[in-house]
Amino acid sequence: MANKNREEVLYNKNIHCSGLTPFDITVSYGEIDGFSKMNTDYSHVHNECEVYIAMTGKVSFMVENRIYPVFPGSVVITRPYEYHHCICHTNDTHTHYCIWFPAENNEKLLEIFFNRELGENNLLTLPADKQKAFFAVCNDLMHNSDTEFSKNYNFMRFLHYLNSAETSDIRSNLYPHDVYQTLNYINTKFTEQISIAELAKEAHVSLSSLERHFFDALRMTPSVYLKNKRLSNAAEMLYNGSSVTDACYKSGFSDQSKFITLFKRNYGFTPLQYKKKVIGDRENSKTAE
């Protein structure tokens, strides 16, 4: 006989969902080889989060002064103004997805990008049984995101896979001590007036040896890396409201006219245009809340 005196017990839990502040997502599928200028001739630094997903090919990925080995299914994440570029080890084609999106006002949902030091924990790995599904989500982001619902649904699926990935602390031993020492020296002293000859002297090798070792490891020369590091710093300063003059000289450039030329060549905008654009985008984002 049923117990008619039994009381019902209800368990309630209130959950606050903040959602996403509106933003644009750029999804790119690439097939490039070791001759591509994309990886070495431009400063890979911007005011967006980036997710690089390797599909085929033999490459490594540099973030700040660390090099991570990359295999099919590897995921590399970088946050705004974290210097990075892909390093091709052969001239064979490698394929990958790249996904960019701004983080402004969405940092709480993107802790995986921000809750770490620069150049640390950038490499993520997904279990083999989840890699195929993750590739499918990337494809859906690019080809099946025509409605507001599908855009948000696909992106949240994308974030779900990222947050289920494991951090890998594997680091490649692709460069000799003189290259590692030069990277550390540049990252510490790039705002000062330093020469490539000075870098070789600090690394206790000849200039030709340093340039050869540097290129073998990073597919760029020390002077290109130094230039990119300075441009990266200048871009971040402009994003944070610094004047063009301050961004120039406090990033290690001694000639403002040359700085403007280099900046436009790398970013497609003059420093002033870039500053107006990134600050304008930030204000538009706040207005859209």
Report in angstroms the alpha-carbon separations of 250 from 189, 236, 258. Answer: 11, 12, 15
**Which of residues 252 and 92 earns the better pLDDT score?**
252
SS3 content of the chain, % helix, strand, coil (to 5): 45, 15, 40
Note whether 68 and 137 are same-domain residues.
Answer: yes
Residue 8 covered by a domain? no
Residues of the domain holding 259: 177-282
Phi, psi of 183 (to 5 degrees): -60, -45
Note whether 51 and 160 are same-domain residues.
Answer: yes
Give the residue among 247, 179, 254, 180 at the shortest CA–CA distance from 213. 179
Note whether 36 and 160 are same-domain residues.
Answer: yes
pLDDT at 7: 66
- Give me the number of domains the chain comprises: 2
Q: Give pLDDT tens digits for 137-181.
A: 999 999 999 998 999 899 999 999 999 998 876 665 566 889 989
Residue 9 covered by a domain? no
Residue 17 covered by a domain? no
Residue 121 covered by a domain? yes
Note whether 76 and 193 are same-domain residues.
Answer: no
pLDDT > 90 in the chain, percent: 50
Averaged pLDDT, 232-240: 93
- Residue 218 CA to residue 101 CA, distance in Å, equals 26
Note whether 119 and 60 are same-domain residues.
Answer: yes
Give the residue among 280, 47, 55, 87 at the shortest CA–CA distance from 179. 87
Note whether 152 and 190 are same-domain residues.
Answer: no
pLDDT at 90: 77
DSSP three-state, residue 147: coil
In the chain, how long is the greatest CA-to-CA distance?
94
Residue 16 covered by a domain? no
pLDDT at 171: 63
Which of 167, 200, 217 marks a domain boundary?
Answer: 167
Residue 228 covered by a domain? yes
Note whether 75 and 146 are same-domain residues.
Answer: yes
Note whether 111 and 232 are same-domain residues.
Answer: no
Which of 167, 194, 217 marks a domain boundary?
Answer: 167
Note whether 56 and 30 are same-domain residues.
Answer: yes
Q: Does the pLDDT of residue 6 top 80, yes or no?
A: no
Residue 205 covered by a domain? yes
The CB density around residue 234, as the number of other CB atoms within 10 Å, is: 29
Note whether 192 and 220 are same-domain residues.
Answer: yes
Note whether 37 and 108 are same-domain residues.
Answer: yes
Residue 34 covered by a domain? yes
pLDDT at 281: 73
pLDDT classification of 38: cutoffs 50, 70, 90:
low
Note whether 260 and 182 are same-domain residues.
Answer: yes
In our burial notation (b when 16+ CB lie closer than 10 A, e otherwise), range 21-48 reads bebebebeeeebebebeebbeebbbbbb
Q: Does the pLDDT of residue 72 top 90, yes or no?
A: no
The DSSP symbol for 8 reads P
pLDDT classification of 229: cutoffs 50, 70, 90:
very high
Q: What is the CATH number of the domain that holds 44?
A: 2.60.120.280
Which of 144, 167, 190 marks a domain boundary?
Answer: 167
Query: Lowest-confidence range among 4-13, 17-26, 121-130, 154-163?
Result: 4-13
Q: What is the CATH number of the domain that holds 272?
A: 1.10.10.60
Report in angstroms the alpha-carbon separations of 236 from 49, 65, 83, 204, 279. Answer: 14, 18, 11, 32, 11
